[in-house]
Amino acid sequence: MSLFLLSLGLISFILYFYGIGLRYLGFLPIIFLASFISYHGMANTIRMKSSEILGRYSLYVARIIILVGFVGVLNFFGMELIKISLTLVGVNLFLWIGSYLVDYKDGKSVFTLGYYLSLIFLLMIGAVFSDSKGFFLIFKYLWIFNLAIIAFMTFIVGLFKEVEKYMLYKTFILGIGAIILVIIDQVSNIYIALAMSTVFLTAIFSRIFKILQHRPIPKDFSPTLLGKKANISIRRILAGERITQPKKYFNSATAGQIYEFTSNMPALSKQALEFINIILMATVIINYLLHRQGFTTLNQFLYRIIIAFFIGNVLILKKINYNSIF
């Protein structure tokens, strides 16, 4: 609560001086205050009950405050907001990639945060100065741009330096989202687009379910299990194991890697897949409520199809333990 009140007070401080035309007066003290909070949070010198909260989130709060102050100062000197946001994205991206190349551990987290805050700021500018269609295009382009950056970090930078494994999962999730955004953008009928997107999700979830039905070859098994005569262990027979029971094993290293990728997927990536399914369903419901009077027979049919596939997706996610809400 104290952190929330502090942030609220600082934002009010900025808005007040921004409103009276003295924006530059509001940013210099805030930068020093942000540095003070960040220092105490990282050094763990505060022994109050809220010190753990400050230590965990002070860097984020300080970075947001500094970013807001930096934007305000540049805008005061006549630089347009769009140019400021693009500059921030480029600078943070360059420093983020450089942090991996020189193994600067702290820079990886600091400039990652700066990069995403700059993207959010750019998206907020699009929301303010464009209509709904323009905002969707901006969102789509930023999403695809972020996908390209994450893929570059994973597959290009990863050739020279070690990159976190979660980057590969992030590429996977962003790729699914990019395909859905392109479908929605290119198909004029929103219900057809959402139906195609939901079926696309069903295909992915079904494929994951299919992959997880296979297992890696146990270490005590002979390679002759793959379609050849296997050595039968007397110990296993006496233990009551059904030797004749059909088993599904990998027949290639690639299949093993795919199994490892899907079975070791982080909880956050699983939740992202579930949220994509929910967002598509929520979009259908919102469109139905907003355009209920002009609902055609075809749209009603597609509406029911989407609901059916949504329920199917929920059941598949539950079957493979990818669900966290339903």
Mean pLDDT by 10 residues, the chain (326 residues): 50 54 54 54 48 57 71 76 86 90 84 87 82 86 94 91 89 94 90 92 91 66 48 55 50 74 87 90 83 74 89 89 72
pLDDT attached to residue 227? 47
89-113 as b/e: b if 16+ CB within 10 A: beebbebbbebbeeeeeebbebbbb
| Torsion angles phi and psi, residue 312, rounded to 5 | -60, -40
Cα–Cα dist 84/149, whole Å: 20
Q: Which residues on neighbouring strands pair with residue 215, listed in sequence order? A: 249
Mention every residue, 6+ apart, whose C-beta is less than 8 A from residue 288: 295, 303
Q: Which amino acid is at 157?
A: V
Report the C-alpha gap between 113 and 95 in whole angstroms: 11
Asked if 126 contacts 135 with a C-beta cutoff of 8 angstroms, the reply is: yes
30, 10 contact by CB (below 8 A) = yes
Q: Quick one: pLDDT at residue 236?
A: 56
Name the residue type at position 199: V
Residue 162: the pLDDT is 87
Please give the Cα distance from 226 to 217 (Å, whole number): 9
Q: Which residues of 172-191 are buried (b: 16+ CB within 10 A; e: fewer)?
A: bbbebbbbbbebbeeeeeeb
Contact indicator for 23, 17 with CB cutoff of 8 Å: yes
- Which is nearest to 109 in space by CA: 171, 11, 38? 38
Residue spans of the domains in the chain: they are 1-79, 215-249
Please classify residue 119 by burial: count the beta carbons closer than 10 Å to its beta carbon, then call 0-12 exposed, 13-18 middle and 19+ buried: buried
- pLDDT score, position 6: 54
Cα angle: 286, vertex 289, 292; to 5 degrees: 135
Q: What is the pLDDT of residue 246?
A: 44
pLDDT of residue 45: 45
Task: Name the token pair of 59.
Answer: 């860097």
Coil, strand, or helix at residue 215?
strand
What gap in Å lies between CA 3 and CA 5, rounded to an integer?
6
